[in-house]
Structures are given as structure tokens and as C-alpha cells.
Structure 1
Amino acid sequence: MKNNAIARFNQVLLFMVLVFALLYFAKPFLIPVAIGGMMAMLLVPVCKRMEQRGVPRGLAAVICVLLTLVLLLAGAYLLFHQLIELGKDLPMIGRKLNEMLNSGHDFISERFQLPVAKQKEYLQSQIAGLSNLAGQFIGDIFRFILSFLVHILIITAYSVLLLIYRRRIKNFVLSLVSYYAGETRVAEARDVVDKTAAVASAYLAGVFLVALIFSVINTIGLTIIGIENALFFGVMVATINIIPYIGSVVGSTVVVIYTLITCDSLLTPVIVAFFFIVMQQIDSYILTPKITGGKIQLNALFTLMALLLGSLVWNVAGMILFVPFLGVAKVIFDHVDALKPYGNLIGDRDTKNKKPAISR
């Protein structure tokens, strides 16, 4: 028995290693498929409504995907235009940053008797390290966006074809269940597939709805505070906030640093920081639980693990995609008796089953 348990553990471990090796080395192929699959799952309810009104499935799929694509490209163009406007302020930002550094050097030199030359040498070494990290992160983001734009036609084709052939894919899954588990399990499998698709679609729609709501609120709030380029920063923070935990901190920090450099008063950065802290609390305790929390609830431990693992395997694309994938996996776990312990493990609340999933 002990040898069998060790052999089974080794098989599971080898399977996991092979899966992640496949994810890593096949990411040029898998990332467009994953994005197309997410888009298709998001658009399934809209596509079904159009089909119920007599629109052919192929035409409904094309219309849904193209409209979504137009909206995304319009948003990207708007952000790019705002980014160009922000670029006009770079000389002023550089001048003020230089003034702040000189004031800091003088203060430290007077208080601690530390020569300015040594301060600058130390500061340059620290900035070089931070610049490498920031440059790598920003470079990954731009490479992901560039890759997305390059593969936009492929992703569009995947989304359309997955919407068109979704019934065939479902029948394929049911055929496998019938072959390996018997006809008695087909009805249960069909129910699991339908619930998984519905809940996953609602979850993804909720994530994007939260981002849209926060884009509007952030833009209005920053405009009232008096921040220039409020639209760019509001949408940027809301978009990066899709990445759990890290996204909100990174996005809000960028805005606070920008206001700290560009504003003469220290009060404005403090107000901006307080605004984002309040927004984060609203997101954590009101919006996200109300909109997506009823669909899928992931605990912080496994969400962070999915985030870091996604970054390791697929870089920024993995940080964005792996958390929704874990959410979809939890839907499947929650609807399959043998997998319910795993759903309970990665969820943020304990589930009490009438029948234990594992019996002695």
C-alpha cells in the first residue's frame, strides 16, 4: 500500500511538471487560445440571446466578437491619446524631480554631514536597480499589449470559432464522459458543463463590470481633486486593478508619485492616496463581493499563488489570465463531488457537504 501511494504521488507530481512545462514552452500558441476562450465565454450569453431572436449562430458570433473588438480598440485609442498628452508634461516632471532631488541632497548634507557626491552615487546605484525592475515590468506589459495587437486577428478567429463550435465541444466532452464513466453520468456531466459555462461567463462579466465602474469613479474623483490627465490615470488604475492585490497598489502608487512630483502642495498627493485607499475598501468589501463574489469566491492564498505562478509561466499575460482560470476551475470543482475538497481548499468559505466527498 505504501509503495502504491508513493507511486501515485510520483505520477501526480510528474503530471503537474509536464503540464507546467507544456504551458511554458507552448505559450506562443496557448496565450491567444486562452484569451480567445475567455472572450468566447464572456460573450456566450449575448450570442445565445441573438440566436434566440433568429440570428444564425455564425453571424451572431461574428457580430458579438467584432463589437467587443471595436470597443476594446476604441478604449485603447483613447488611452494612447491620453498617454501622448501625458508625454508633453515629461520635461516639467523632469525639472521638478531634479529640484526635489537637489533639495533633498542639501537637507541630508546639512543634517547628517554626508557629502552630496556620495549621496548621488548611492542614489544612482539604487535608481539603476529600481529602473531595471520597473523597466522589466513595463517592458512585459508593453510586450503583452504588442503581442495582443499582433495576434488580434488570431484571437478574433478563435473567439468566433469557439462560439460557433461550442455545442460540438460540449458534445465531445459528454462523449468522453459516456465512454469512460457510462451513460448514467452523462446527464450529470451536462448539468456541470452548463453551470460551469454560465457561472464562468457571469464571473468574467463581473470582473470587467467592476473595472468599468472603477474607471468612471476614478476619473470623476481625480477630476474633482484636480489631477491632470484624470481619464488616463482613472482607466489605468481600474485596468491594472484586474490583477488582484498587486494591481491596485501599483496603479495607485503611480498616480500618487505623479501628483507628488507635479503638484506644489503636499496636500494633493495625500488626498489622492486617501481616495485610492477608500476606493480599495469599496472594491474589496462592496463592489467585488456584490458583483463577482456570489459567483466565485477564491481565498487570498491561492489567488496570490495563481498570480505569481501565472507571472512565472506567462509573464503579465499569466498574471491577468491565471486568476480567472482558477475561478473557472473552482466552478468545476464545486459541481463535481470527487473534486469538491479542492473547491473548498481554494475557496474563501467552508462548504458543508451532506455526503462526504471522501469516505474511509
Structure 2
Amino acid sequence: MPPKSNPVARFNEVLFFLVLVFGILYVAKSFLIPVAIGGMMAMLLVPLCRRLEKWKIPRGFSAIICVLLLLLLLLGVCYLLINQVVALGKDLPMIGAKLNEMLNSGHDYISEHFQLPVDQQKAYLQNQITGLTNLAGKFVGDIFRSLLSLLVHLLIIFAYTALLLIYRRRIKNFVLDLVRRYAGRTSLDEAHDVVRKTTDVASAYLAGVCMVALIFSVINTIGLAIIGIENALFFGMMVAFINIIPYIGSVAGSSIVILYTFITRDTLVTPIIVALFFIVMQQIDSYILTPKITGGKIALNALATLMALLLGNLVWGVAGMILFVPFLGVTKVIFDHVESLKPFGTLIGDRDAKSKAEKKPAIR
């Protein structure tokens, strides 16, 4: 009779494994982030690459064509954003003058109603602005460093993407060989299904996220232009792409636009209209677009998604906030197909587990 395993020892082994995994992710992030981005982009391009291969185009040329098309798309988006940023920079003197006017009005109001000297107000405000500036500077610096690192590694990322598209069959055969070696031939069909579903889940989710961002870029731009906001294209695209970060992105992006309209307009009517517009758009996103386009692809509950966001930010920063959610969705597919890990798949899923008759044996 085999000896019973000690639960405490098994818990320590699992805990050590998790610490080791996330420690490696943190220490090796400069190497792993380009690989992860390349892998996500390759999964996004797999359907297009397959279609080109059906047209009798060799796999290597298909991969290069897909990567070049994606690069042209990204360059076009960057060109539009840079033009809009240059146009927005012309309004900075006007924004500074409005801020000074608002501060002077605030100082006069506080001095008149609370008998607080203007010098004390300015000293207190200066201290608060210094703290907020340091915090905002750190946040903006992190984003700038992430974008600069992304640009520096852009060629490496696209090289990874093309190579992963070219060698995807070899990678799949490697995974199946491992399953055959350690789980037996009876699990091969299930392993093949897992590999196919993980690729489909990541590809469909990323395509859905890009589709939602494109739809919101158009709707936000049209809506802000109708309201009368200057640089509507820039703000519409900015809010749509920040919205890629679940939960946090929509609030952060819309707050920037509301603050801009509050500073640049002499009335509160326009900021209120912009706030109502974004509230309506967030409801449409939460209850219509995201559930229809991406909701059924990744099947994660809100708690698991929020934890993935925070953990991704802790380990990889801004890149982790974007990448860890599809990573967790792929992990859930694996959990659902491995018998001993099914409870974890149920825990992070977005719906209660339903009792179904299993057509295929799970991987053990």
C-alpha cells in the first residue's frame, strides 16, 4: 500500500512552485515580455495565416505577409495619434491660462468665505501639487518606459511573431509528444483538443478586443465631435485603446477627457454631457459589445480578471495588465481539461459548473 502524502508537504510544494514561477516571470521579464507579446500576436494572426496557406501560399511567406500587414496597421495608428498629439500641443498655452484663471478664482473664493490668506493657500497647494506631480510623473514615466521598451523590441517582437507562425506545427507536435510520454496515448485526443482550444480562445479574444477598440474609436470620435470637443479623433482613439485594460481603462480614459473639457470650457454643461456620454458608452460596452464579441471567448469572472490585472501590473507593469487576462483565459482551458485541475477552472470561470456527461476522458 503506497504511503499517504502529507498535505502540508504538498501545500509547501505548490507554494514553492508558484513563488518560483512568478519569481522567474519577474526576473526574466525583459526576455519574456517580447516573447509573450509575440505569442499573443501570433495567435491573433493564426486565422489569417491559415487562410493564406489555403490559397497555396507557403507558410513562411504567409507568416511574413501577416506580420507586414499588422506592422502597417500599427504604423497607421501611430501616425494618426502623433498628428493628433501635435495638434493638441497647440492648445497647451490656452489650457495653462485657464488653469491659472481657475486657481485665482478658487483662491479668491476661499479667502472671502473662509478667511484663509492667499499665501497659505498657495503654499498648501504647492505641497499637494508637488506630491501629485511626483506620483503622476512616476506613472507617466512607467508608461513611457514601457512604450519605449516596446518600440526598442519591436523588431524582436515581430521576428518572434513570424517565427512562431512558421513553427507553430512543430510546437504543437512537441506538446503532443510530451503528453504521449507522460500521460499515455489515451490522452492524445484530449491534448489535441486542448491545444486547438487554447489557440482559438486567445485568437478569438484578441480579435474581439481589437474589434471592440475599433468600434469604440469610431463611436467615441463621432460622439465627441458632435458634442464639440476639439481633437475628437485623438480622445476617441485614446479612450478606446485604454479601454483594452478591463475595468480600469474605461474609467481612466473617460476621466482624462472629462477633465480636459472641464478645464477648457467656461460652463459645466459640456463636461456633464461628456460624462453622460461615456457612462452610456460604458453600459453599452459592459452589457452589449463585450459580452457579444469577447464575453463567450474567455469566460472569466470579474474577481479572477481583476486579480489577473493587479498581478500582471505587479509582475510586468502595463504589459502584464494587458497580457495576463488572455493568459488566464488560456490557463482556464487547460484547467477544464485536466481532471485534477477542474475545480480551479470552475473557480475562475464566469458561470457555475454544469453537470455534463464527458464524451472524452480528461487528461490525468
Quick check: TM above 0.5? yes
Q: Which residue number corresponds to residue 220 of structure 2? A: 218
1:112 aligned to 2:127? no
Q: Which residue number corresponds to residue 35 of structure 1? A: 37
Deviations 1:294-344 (A, max 9, x none): 212211111111111111111111111111211221222233333222121
In structure 2, how many angstroms separate the alpha carbons of the residues matched to 1:172 and 1:326? 22
In structure 2, how many angstroms separate the alpha carbons of the residues matched to 1:66 and 1:105? 56
How far the C-alpha of 1:88 sits from its partner, in A, is 0.9
In structure 2, how many angstroms separate the alpha carbons of the residues matched to 1:348 and 1:194? 21
Gaps of 5+ in 2: none
In structure 2, how many angstroms separate the alpha carbons of the residues matched to 1:256 and 1:271? 9
Letter in 2 for 1:235: M
Deviations 1:235-260 (A, max 9, x none): 00000011111111111000000000
Aligned partner of 1:293 among 287, 292, 295: 295
1:160 aligned to 2:162? yes
How far the C-alpha of 1:354 sits from its partner, in A, is 3.3
Q: Within 5 Å, give how 1:181-192 maps onto structure 2.
A: 181-192=183-194
How far the C-alpha of 1:2 sits from its partner, in A, is 8.6
How far the C-alpha of 1:120 sits from its partner, in A, is 1.3
Contact 1:207 1:242 in 2 (8 A): yes
Q: Which residue number corresponds to residue 260 of structure 1? A: 262
Q: Within 5 Å, give how 1:86-125 maps onto structure 2.
A: 86-125=88-127
Contact 1:330 1:347 in 2 (8 A): yes
Contact 2:146 2:318 in 1 (8 A): yes
1:197 aligned to 2:194? no
Deviations 1:129-151 (A, max 9, x none): 22222211111111111111111
Contact 1:207 1:292 in 2 (8 A): yes
How far the C-alpha of 1:73 sits from its partner, in A, is 1.3
In structure 2, how many angstroms separate the alpha carbons of the residues matched to 1:29 and 1:207? 25
Contact 1:200 1:331 in 2 (8 A): no
Q: Within 5 Å, give how 1:41-120 maps onto structure 2.
A: 41-120=43-122
Contact 1:192 1:336 in 2 (8 A): no
Contact 1:223 1:230 in 2 (8 A): yes
Gaps of 5+ in 1: none
TM-score by length of 1: 0.96
Aligned partner of 1:269 among 268, 271, 278: 271
In structure 2, how many angstroms separate the alpha carbons of the residues matched to 1:297 and 1:330? 8
In structure 1, how many angstroms separate the alpha carbons of the residues matched to 2:59 and 2:313? 36
Aligned partner of 2:19 among 17, 20, 23: 17
Q: Which residue number corresponds to residue 247 of structure 1? A: 249
In structure 1, how many angstroms separate the alpha carbons of the residues matched to 2:92 and 2:322? 29
Deviates more, 1:35-44 or 1:244-253: 244-253
* SS in structure 1 at match of 2:298: coil
Q: Which residue number corresponds to residue 305 of structure 1? A: 307
1:172 aligned to 2:162? no
Q: Within 5 Å, give how 1:117-156 maps onto structure 2.
A: 117-156=119-158
Contact 2:239 2:250 in 1 (8 A): yes
In structure 1, how many angstroms separate the alpha carbons of the residues matched to 2:276 and 2:214? 21
* SS in structure 1 at match of 2:317: helix
How far the C-alpha of 1:355 sits from its partner, in A, is 6.3
In structure 1, how many angstroms separate the alpha carbons of the residues matched to 2:266 and 2:7? 67
Q: Which residue number corresponds to residue 331 of structure 2? A: 329
Letter in 2 for 1:181: A
Contact 1:42 1:204 in 2 (8 A): yes
Deviations 1:3-31 (A, max 9, x none): 71100100100011111110111001000
* SS in structure 2 at match of 1:294: helix
Letter in 2 for 1:271: I
Contact 2:190 2:337 in 1 (8 A): no
Letter in 1 for 2:306: L
TM-score by length of 2: 0.95
Q: Which residue number corresponds to residue 279 of structure 1? A: 281
Q: Which residue number corresponds to residue 237 of structure 2? A: 235
RMSD: 1.6
Contact 1:65 1:156 in 2 (8 A): yes
In structure 1, how many angstroms separate the alpha carbons of the residues matched to 2:217 and 2:17? 41
Deviations 1:101-122 (A, max 9, x none): 1101111111111111111122
Contact 2:179 2:191 in 1 (8 A): yes
Deviates more, 1:197-206 or 1:329-338: 329-338
In structure 2, how many angstroms separate the alpha carbons of the residues matched to 1:18 and 1:110? 61
- Pair 1:3–1:338, CA change in 2 (3 A): closer
Deviations 1:142-170 (A, max 9, x none): 11111111111100100000000000000
In structure 1, how many angstroms separate the alpha carbons of the residues matched to 2:330 and 2:133? 36
How far the C-alpha of 1:262 sits from its partner, in A, is 0.6
In structure 2, how many angstroms separate the alpha carbons of the residues matched to 1:170 and 1:79? 38
